[in-house]
Amino acid sequence: MPLKAADLPGIPQRPRVAVGSRNRPKLEATRMVFLPIWPEAEIVATLAPSGVSDQPWSAEEAVRGAVNRARYALRAVDADLGVGLEGGVEAGPGGLLYLSGWGAVATADGRLGVGGGGRTLLPPELADMLRSGVELGPAIDMWLDRKGVRHEEGTVGVLTGGYLTRAASFANLLLHALATIFHPDWYAGFNFPQTDELT
């Protein structure tokens, strides 16, 4: 049986949720995850700096970006929960490049949850564009001769034939990030490293 808002200590029944982005799939992902738990949540978009490069190239960098966005958004709008979502690419076996994503949820009482999602192999031509210095958003637009893919189904949506959209992918990793928020007793004594402590 899924947890409900009443089961979650330290979070109001009608929380203010600050999302550190105005990107439509990121906002949609937050609604997909948070509204079933907190149906009366107020979800607010705010621009939040990631503090990392425009194209994160490792899990560590993408996690730093997600955590920075979540913590900034939380403070910027005096929210109960802050959400940070960061897409990235990661090198895998044999030097292959994979699309990845990380999410963070920060609470007003100082808790932090971090979760990651699946990995999708990038086509060689697209991977070469990234290696040459082009960020994924502009690269996928050029590769497909389209505009604004990241604001629609995202690269993951294109590569999975529309079966897994960017919003759904981000929603999945947000659920992973909520584990420490859902079960604070299980994570008692756990302190996530400060973002400047991540390598």
Q: Which pLDDT score, from 0 to 100, does residue 194 have?
A: 62
**Residue 188: per-residue pLDDT:** 77
- Structure tokens that stand for 116 in this block: 């990651």
Per-residue model confidence (pLDDT) at position 195: 53
Q: Give 14-70 as a DSSP string.
A: S-EEEES---HHHHHHHHHHHHHHSTT-EEEE-----SS-SS--SHHHHHHHHHHHH
pLDDT tens for the 199 residues of the chain, in order: 777 777 777 888 899 999 999 998 899 999 999 999 999 999 999 999 888 878 888 889 999 999 999 999 999 999 999 999 998 899 988 889 999 999 999 999 988 999 998 889 999 999 999 999 888 888 989 898 989 888 878 888 889 998 888 889 999 999 999 998 888 888 877 776 665 544 4
Element (H, E) at 172: helix 166-177
- Class at the top of the CATH hierarchy for domain 13-120+165-183: alpha beta
DSSP code per residue over 77-110: TT-SEEEEEEEEEEE-GGG-EEEEEEEEEEETTS
pLDDT recorded at residue 198 = 45
State residue 154's pLDDT score: 82
Q: What is the pLDDT of residue 13?
A: 86
The pLDDT value recorded for residue 197 is 47
Q: Where are the domains of the chain?
A: 13-120+165-183
- Give this prediction's pTM: 0.87
